[in-house]
Structure 1
Amino acid sequence: MPKALKLLILLGLIWGSGYSIARFAVLHGVTPLGYAFCQSLGPALFLLALCLKRKAPLPFQPKILIYFLVTGLLGVALPNTTMYITAAHLPAGLLAVVVNTVPLMMYPLARLFKLERFYWSRLFAVLLGFAGLMLMTLPGAHGVLGYHTAWIFIALISPLCFALCALFAAHFRPEKPSSLVLSMGMLMSSAILISPVLLTSQHFFEPHVAHGAGILAVIIEIILSSIGYILFFDVLDNAGPVFYSFVACVVSITGLIWGFIFFDETLNTISTTAVVLILIALYLVTRKINAYRANPRHDED
């Protein structure tokens, strides 16, 4: 097995586990805001230490600091907080699939901002994915999982924010700082943005809930997230961003597996069909984007 594929699978396993760990943490007394703050500050400090070790210059120009704030808001603070709020109300496996529909959000947004040409094949993939999402909202799709339809729509805020962040980050990315420095700045900005809201709420933990297991989950996820960022840069170095874009498919599948392992989550016929449609759509839209990047002059149907 190629090294890049091994790294991609390992990264998918680590990031896919995050949805089950988040659900476990919020069900064991950690508030969504508290969890979001820890998952911003913890990896940010780890990446800062890595930057200092590699002697990477830390930028303080106003333009770059604004870039950090916008990416921190759209790429971490808003989507992660939303994700952790919904983690208590949606099965971890389905949450992993919904949150990783970012590629399906990217194409319509890119078209809206006139950053992409129109292709019927990509439109078909997007419509297929949204058909899967709509299937998830049917009453019969809930089965033994027992979630409320509204939480599916709330969870979609996360991939929408991630997609907006990706478009902003690609369009306004500064030239000098490395990806490592930009990731550190994004996470640190997210922690700064979340902290006043967390202090105002005065609730890191839910009152009257034993939260020892929740704290352990927070620590485990900080460690796994930090390892995930190392693997993220390794995948980019070994295979490039085109290969990395398949991570959404891998994380969706591993998220379902971890949901079964941690919470014994099983899907009925309707929800299984929905997941399959979304995974096919993710593969199609990712493959089409990769083909276009490899040959920009290639015309699709």
Structure 2
Amino acid sequence: MNQRHFFAILLLLGSGWGLTIPLTKVAVSEGYEPLGLIFWQMAIGAVALGLFRVIRRKPVGMPRGKLWFFLMVALLGTVLPNTFSYRAAAHLPAGVMAVCISLVPIFAFPIALALRTDRFDWLRLGGLAAGLAGVVLLVGPDSLPEAGMALWIPIALVAPLCYGLEGNIVAKVGMQDLGPGHVLFGASVLGAIIALPLAIGSGQFIDPRTEWNAPEFAILGAAVIHVAVYTGYVWLVSQAGAVFASQVAYVVTGMGVIWSMLLLSERYSGWVWASLLLILVGMFIVQPRRKDVLAS
């Protein structure tokens, strides 16, 4: 398989991941609460990944000594970030959510310095400054359709903060002799177990026996797409390398904005586009270039 095929697959994966952003907006459009959404996302993911691994004769066990690792990935990779993302998505345009999610490398760099998994670099500090400048533009009074929406930007930024922290912890402690698919499966199982009693106890559980409309199909679609593109991403890492595959982040951001414009008829001010440009520049500069600092 040549380079053009790898780029085509990269675009396909990024387009699929980007599609989950407006689907999230649709899922919360009729009042569904975060914990109910998180449970079904994790449960659908666990079932799909479990079946996939059984068919491929991959291990599905969850060793007791590795439970802390599965739990960390579940909490920092889904439960905590999605709790805040779903809350913010009900109030912010989906394209703006895509811009916020793209800040993962911007958060990851200072966390890496704090955990001593990376070294200080003045150029990458400039990338960090560019990303933060993009955030400042995003919360400006003329950036969003309503000035009050700016209050939800900090809520949306909790998700990339969690992802940046998760990636750095994985980079520091390693994969614990587990494959990425095994980790995602275990995290999905634990995440569903955690989210179910919380969703029921808080009254946020979503009964699937309800009448199915756009939000219900959006929940199912986003969960299935996530499993499919993650599996494809792991394959791409194995075939083309982690550095090449990491470029999917740019495609996810761009396609998240484009899908939101096409499916939700969203339109953005020039300040939002300027913010997106600054953040993408910051991502490019801050992004690590060595395979050994890229967590799967």
TM-score (norm 1): 0.90
Contact 1:103-1:163 at 8 Å conserved across structures:
yes
Match of 1:180 in 2: 181
**CA distance in structure 2 between the partners assigned to 1:203 and 1:180 by the alignment:** 29
Question: In the TM superposition, what is the alpha-carbon distance from 1:175 to its structure 2 partner?
Answer: 4.2
Question: Which amino acid in the other structure matches residue 126 of structure 1?
Answer: L
Percent identity between matched residues is 30
Give the distance between the partners of 1:197 and 1:148, measured in 2 at CA.
28
Q: CA deviation at 1:48?
A: 1.0
User: Paired residue for 1:119, among 118, 121, 125?
Assistant: 121
Structure 1 residue 62, shift from structure 2 partner: 2.4
User: Displacement, 1:129?
Assistant: 0.5
The structure-2 alpha-carbon separation of the partners of 1:213 and 1:112, relative to structure 1 and needing over 3 Å to count, comes to same
The alpha carbon displacement at 1:41 in A equals: 1.3
Of 13, 16, 29, the match for 1:14:
16
| Whole-angstrom CA distance in 2 between matches of 1:199 and 1:213 | 23
CA contact (8 A) 1:11 1:228 kept: yes
1:260 aligns to what?
261
Aligned partners of 1:106, 1:229: CA distance in 2, in Å?
20
State how 1:186-265 maps to structure 2 within 5 Å. Answer: 186-205=187-206, 212-265=213-266
Moved more, 26-35 or 244-253: 26-35
Query: Which stretch of structure 1 is more off in the superposition, 174-183 or 118-127?
Result: 174-183
Give the count of matched residue pairs.
Answer: 289
Task: Give the Cα separation in 2 of the matches to 1:194 and 1:20.
Answer: 23
- Residue 171 of structure 1, CA deviation: 2.1
Residue equivalent to 2:156: 155
- Stretches of structure 1 that go unaligned for 5 or more consecutive residues are 296-301
Distance 1:6 1:116 in 2: 31
Summarize the alignment of residues 139-154 of structure 1 with structure 2, pairs less than 5 Å apart. Answer: 139-142=141-144, 144=145, 148-154=149-155
Q: Which runs of 4+ in 1 moved over 6 A?
A: none
Instruction: Decide whether the 8 Å contact of 1:246 with 1:283 is kept in 2.
Output: no
What is the CA–CA distance in structure 1 between the aligned matches of 2:147 and 2:21, rounded to whole Å? 17
8 Å contact kept, 1:30–1:211: no
TM-score of the two chains, using structure 2 as the length reference: 0.91
Contact 2:141 2:147 in 1 (8 A): no
User: What is the rounded CA distance, in whole Å, between the counterparts of 2:227 and 2:180 in structure 1?
Assistant: 15
Q: Which of 39, 44, 57 is residue 59 of structure 2 equivalent to?
A: 57
Contact 1:57–1:177 (8 Å) recurs in 2: no
Give the residue type in structure 1 aligned to 2:171.
A
CA RMSD of aligned residues (A): 2.1
